[in-house]
Amino acid sequence: MQISCVSTESEEMSETNDVRQLPNPAVCRAKPANWPNVVFCLVPHPGDCRHARYFNEVAYCIHPHREEIIAKTKAHEAAHAVEPKFDDAD
């Protein structure tokens, strides 16, 4: 059985549907590039998303709400950040 990332509102894996529907607010992740109005798409293989554009094999997001997607991505990363662990064995 092939399982792929199918995102629902709860961002769970699904075994019943192996097709992602993009754009999907539960899946979309993006970060700003170093150029004005350029946004990197962070979703692996967003080929079917109507807001993904490719240049040199890099996916860019042209979603009209991409600034909101960036903010959500930053919040998600902050909420799931892992604190570095240090050994106390001096």
Q: 17-75 pLDDT, tens per residue? A: 434 688 988 899 999 999 888 999 999 989 889 999 999 999 999 999 999 999 999 99
Give CA torsion, residues 26, 63, 38, 45, to 10 deg: 50
pTM over 0.95: no
Backbone angles phi, psi at 20, to 5 degrees: -80, 140
With beta carbons less than 8 A apart as the criterion, state whether 72 and 53 touch. no
